[in-house]
Structure 1
Amino acid sequence: MSPPPLLDGARVLWWAWAGDVPFGQLPGAEGDNRFVYGFAVCRYDGGRWYRFTCNKHWEVVQDMDHDDEEEAKADIPTQYDASRVAWHHVSTSEDAR
């Protein structure tokens, strides 16, 4: 299930979805926010890169800022099954240039 184009106002550039089985659980979270199904690497206009951790509704439940997109993609917290993370790139009009 692909994400919306924006998460928390940041443009989604890369995403990964767990499918039927979540990547893991967010410690201390409850309800729908407990299980992590998606990761997204996003960027606010001209700002830093973020790796968002999302629930099954693509709602952001945790974030971490990074210096670049490769660092953001590589920084999956250890409580999640990173071996299942398969990144998908979001094509933009800038990619065609």
Structure 2
Amino acid sequence: MTKTLKLFPGLALGLALNAGTLQAQELTAEPRPPASAKSRAEVRAETAAWRQAGLAQAWRGEQTPDIEGPQYRAGVERYAQAADRLRAQSGEGARALAYAPRKAR
């Protein structure tokens, strides 16, 4: 019992000294991902255009397609035209494609 009484003040002192370092972290809200500007129907229509242009098939498998090749560029152009039509229907108009074909060098 005397050992317990001798340990208690030391334990209390240790806890008191550590109390200043044990602080709760400030809670922050998780940032929400931005809402898409496109409707589900618009995304589905663009995905269908991607597939119809043959680009989904080109990216199937483990190898990257030859994105500089004429066959892939023709697919990109077909997709760009279809996407332009979809944007014109939705009121967007201008092209904003990541895979827009480059002019021949």
Same fold by TM-score, threshold 0.5 exceeded?
Answer: no
TM-score (norm 1): 0.25
Q: Give the structure, 1 or 2, with the largest relative contact order (CA under 8 Å, sep 6 or more).
A: 1
TM-score (norm 2): 0.24
- Is the helix fraction higher in 1 or 2? 2
- Is the strand fraction higher in 1 or 2? 1
Structure number with greater Rg is 2
